[in-house]
Amino acid sequence: MPLSQIPQIPYIPYMPDYQDMTACQIAEYVKAGRMSAVDIARQALALAQSEGHNLNAFITLCEDKALAQVATVDKKVRAGEFVAKRASRRTGNSAEISAGALAGVPIAVKDNISYTGYPTTCGSKMLETYIPPFDATVMERLIDAGAVIIGKTNMDEFAMGSSSETSYFGPVKHPLDPKLSPGGSSGGSAAAVARGIVPLALGSETGGSVRQPASFCGLYGLKPTYGAVSRYGLVAYCSSSDVIAPFARTAEDLAVLYSVIAGHDMRDATSLAGDHPDYISCLKTDRKFKIGIPKQYFAWELSCQVSPVLNQAIESLEKAGHEFYDISLPLTNKAIATHYIIAPAEASSNLARFDGVRFGFRTAGETDLKQMYLRTRSEGFGDEVKRRIMLGTYVLSAGYYDTYYLKAARVRELIRREFENAFKEVDLIITPTTPTPAFKLGEKLKDPLAMYLCDVFTVPSSLAGVPAISVPFGTVPAADSSLKLPVGVQFIAPYMGEKALFQIASILEHLKE
């Protein structure tokens, strides 16, 4: 029953608006029976249909399954199943998390994560009709935790882009200004959370696809350690960097969502086996961090636009007793070139399976096999995807492999070591998340290099596989409007160092208040 139709009789307790609540609060209220998961889901679906449509944030809404899920959640609440019970897990080394940690919490999921019953399009014509016959591991874990999947969000085609404009289903718009890009490639998820349709969303990261939109939209966005979250069911772009990554509006919510999805998975050979700490109870800490400031990230000319926010963050943290050190990461300026060799190389191979033979789009009326391949792939992929496939095919070709791919792989190893060495001196590294606040739709679409440079601060940690977080901290004035645009501060941690990232995010969250 919609909220407006509930008669205001005195003995009915005040039911708050889920949009004003954190995911943790929603779960608590739902588990306590003070809010109905069904009502929240209905409201979220309605919002997704109206507001989500305006932003072009969703490709598919998952109404049928969402309503079935909330019915289960409410039933479990009535049966008392969520009361003081630890979640059961298939493997022992997942993060500790209470049962029903996300009970009744509406969540949006990027459309490159497989979910049965609905298309997983990856924002591409190629997969417009493809319905996966299996769930990604993260989807199983979300549903186990009581989360309610509202819809699949719009994204750059096959996650290739930094503005969510290369989608076959049209660009995603920024919640603050429809002329702006929310960032990408996980722009639909970011916009849905920033607009308040859902408190949480999943995106995916390869070189900044969650941190950058988090920064543009004023959200918390985590790029987990490579392998910390199972990739099973995530449609691969660059397998050696891809990782499923969460968005949230608070540090705690981010930690809860991460706890739910993280942990070893038998179905992903690159998934990490190892214990996760209790990320939620360790959020409150008196720990004073040693934080490195890498000069290379600040020498960037564009970063002057965002540096006031960054300086403010450093100042506040220093006042709170955290120590800052100048450090040097000289390979930073090699990261973009390295990433744009390795990622297209893997993509050219990962996307070979979209050939029109077994599923997805196939060109009509072609009887010659080679022509069928050519036309299917020419018509089914957008320009940016084709550009990267060609680039990747080139760098792997006989005669070019050593010059490009192999060299890039070696530089990547050096970048990894550079971070390893830096973390011998400091606990965390602080940098801007992006060189600029949100830019205009269409501004960089015709200039691939400018678009690639959006990721200049996020790509190095992706190459190294270490975790990083974007924390919203302040705004800067927009260039040609009276708007104030959010800007994120990035922290990078050593391998499996998510705990420190959540802690620093929580510290900064309180300092902001």
Partner 1 sequence: MTVYEGYKPVIGLEVHAQLTTDSKMFCGCKVSYGASPNSRTCPVCLGLPGALPILNKKAVEYALRMILAVGGEVALHSVFTRKNYFYPDLPKGYQISQYSQPVGRGGEIKYSLENGRTKNCRLNRIHLEEDAGKSLHPSSKERYTRLDFNRCGVPLIEIVSEPDLKSPEDAYSYLNKLKQILQCLEICSADMEKGHLRCDANVSVLPKGKKKLGVRTEVKNLNSFKGVKRALKYEIARQIKILRAGGTVKPVTLWWDENRRAARLMRTKETSEDYRYFPEPDLWPLAIDMPWLDSIRRSLKELPDHKYNRLVKQYKIRPYDARILAADRLLADYFENVIACYNNSRDVVNWITTEILGILDETNESITEFKISPAMLAELLKSIDDGIISGRTARQVFREMAATGNSAARIITSRGLRQITDKKVLLKEVDKVITANPKQVEKYRSGKTALLDFFIGEVMKSTQGRANPELVSDLLIQLLKK
Kindly list the residues in this chain that would bind partner 1 in the complex (CB under 8 A): 113-114, 120, 122, 127, 130, 132-134, 136, 231-236, 238-240, 266-270, 345-346, 348-349, 351-355, 357-359, 367, 369, 373, 393, 396-398, 401, 405, 409
Single out the catalytic residue among 36, 94, 98, 110.
110
Min dist. Cβ of residue 114 to partner 1 (A): 5
Cα separations in angstroms, 444 against 30, 183, 415, 499: 44, 11, 27, 35
CB contact at 8 A, 495 and 279: no
Min dist. Cβ of residue 290 to partner 1 (A): 32
Nearer to partner 1, 375 or 484 (CB): 375
Determine the Cα–Cα distance for residues 504 and 491; give it in Å rounded to an integer.
Answer: 8
Min dist. Cβ of residue 241 to partner 1 (A): 9
Min dist. Cβ of residue 332 to partner 1 (A): 23
Determine the Cα–Cα distance for residues 364 and 361; give it in Å rounded to an integer.
Answer: 9
Cβ-based neighbours of 402, under 8 Å, separated by 6 or more:
none
Nearer to partner 1, 246 or 392 (CB): 392
Nearer to partner 1, 204 or 303 (CB): 204
Nearer to partner 1, 177 or 268 (CB): 268
Known active-site residue 288: no
Nearest to 379 by CA among 33, 128, 147, 204: 128
Question: How big is the chain by its Cα radius of gyration, in Å?
Answer: 22
Neighbouring C-beta atoms of residue 339, cutoff 10 Å: 27
CB contact at 8 A, 42 and 2: yes
196: left (phi over 0), alpha (psi -120 to 50) or beta: left
Single out the catalytic residue among 163, 209, 241, 461.
209
Single out the catalytic residue among 185, 259, 348, 461.
185
Known active-site residue 110: yes
Known active-site residue 407: no
CB contact at 8 A, 24 and 281: no
Min dist. Cβ of residue 406 to partner 1 (A): 9
Neighbouring C-beta atoms of residue 386, cutoff 10 Å: 16
Nearer to partner 1, 137 or 189 (CB): 137
Determine the Cα–Cα distance for residues 221 and 185; give it in Å rounded to an integer.
Answer: 13
Question: Which residue numbers are catalytic?
Answer: 110, 185, 209
